[in-house]
Copies of this chain bind each other. A is one copy, B any other.
């Protein structure tokens, strides 16, 4: 197959990311080794035909990611790998095939049994929860938001207690449109539909685009919530090989599109759950272009996009969309208010259909929580809040990752996401994650087994561990115990 230029050549402002990506690949594969001096900025700018500034930006990015380090008077060197930094899982290698999804019973059994819900989500009775991807309650501005809610109830008393507009409150849509600029998007409030969380947004998008029997391309592993929607809508899934760093492999995706008659793609491009991958922006541009050529819609879930540990928030794919084929779904469930369940979708050319489905499915979204969030976004210091929680989650996740590496058996592979708070952990091939989940549950430790993140209950020796909560002594004990159980299962 001849290489598709869209897949290898970055566009416009993404030159430096692309350059960094290629240099990182040289380090990953060992061409450049720990302690090696890498070419000077001037040299690389000549070789790669980019400006000095672009080369410098690429080097800074690699430095931020801990791959290289600058030594005074001497240049840039590949950073020695910290001894405590375990290996990462490699790119997933699912068989590329369109297949029925069979996941709902398993998810309801292992992720949402009444006992787990009652006992763990609200951390009563000594449970240790590495299983749910909920944010740390201490990092939510709940009191401030609730003040906004009470104030909205007073100010809009009667008008807020009418049948909601199906599209949602204009005030909130306006704030969302303003903030979308951070993610590279020029959106109008008119293009946005408010939903009951991101799950409803994605449900509506899939309903708008597909009919039963259609195939949807997804990441491998993929969030089980996506898989559940795909199953209950009678759709098929085609799992695409995905790198824990850069997201879906575009070459492999191209094969899927051609081979599986993909009707839509459903990806979490920024800090995906559970993999933590973040597709570089230039690669997003290439993805959007590839799909546009074929007229295939892309549904993107950006719920973790705001929880970046980088200096700049990654863009959404919609930033590169010129044909209205990208449907961006997001919510405030990770950053502000999981309890409010307010999400949104910018459905591009599918706007009318999504709005109609929203109306038919649930008529509209509860009004006051919308107004409260709009108020907080306008006046509550959301940017300050984001800076705070980004730092906190970066610290939490680093500590958690180090503890996982320390207490889980040697050979365990762990992702190193640059945002969000979930880790994807590869255990010895012999370990059955479902068995592990049950044994852990018996000791009041909750983990999310790999099979719930797969259309066919694969990833059998993987678990997702979440480090959303502060890492404390109790969590440490939980990891120690988990390590012992895994050790036993691996024998």
Contacts and interface: CB of A to CB of B under 8 A. Distances in A.
Interface of A: 104, 108, 112, 117, 121-122, 132, 134, 137, 140, 142-143, 145-146, 149-150, 153-154, 157-166, 195-197, 199-200, 203, 207, 212, 225, 228-229, 232, 333, 337-342, 356-357, 359-369
Given A157-B146, A162-B137, A368 B356 contact: no
A225 to B, nearest CB: 7
A360 B203 contact: yes
Nearest to A146: B153
Given A137-B162, A161-B339, A339-B367, 9 more contacts: A117-B165, A121-B163, A121-B165, A162-B338, A200-B362, A203-B360, A207-B232, A339-B368, A366-B369
Contacts of A364: 197, 341
Contacts of A157: 142-143, 146
A345 to B, nearest CB: 13
Contacts of A369: 366, 368-369
A224 B481 CA distance: 57
Given A149-B149, A157-B146, A122 B162 contact: yes
Q: Is the interface of A mostly helix, strand, loop or mixed?
A: helix
Contacts of A121: 162-163, 165
B357 A132 contact: no
A195 B365 CA distance: 11
B143 A229 contact: no
Contacts of A232: 207, 356-357, 360-361
Nearest to A364: B341
A356 B164 CA distance: 26
Contacts of A140: 158, 161
Top 8 closest A-B pairs, CB basis? Answer: A146-B153, A161-B339, A150-B150, A200-B362, A199-B363, A339-B367, A142-B161, A196-B362
Contact of A339 (B160, B200, B225): B160
A157 B207 CA distance: 35
Given A163-B132, A341-B164, A361 B150 contact: no
A122 B153 CA distance: 16
6 contacts: A142-B161, A150-B150, A199-B361, A340-B366, A341-B363, A342-B366
Contacts of A366: 196, 339-342, 366, 369
A286 to B, nearest CB: 32
Nearest to A196: B362
Contact of A362 (B197, B207, B339, B368): B197
B163 A333 contact: yes
A373 to B, nearest CB: 11
Given A143-B157, A146-B154, A360-B229, A338 B163 contact: yes
Contacts of A161: 137, 140, 142, 145-146, 337-340
A405 B65 CA distance: 77
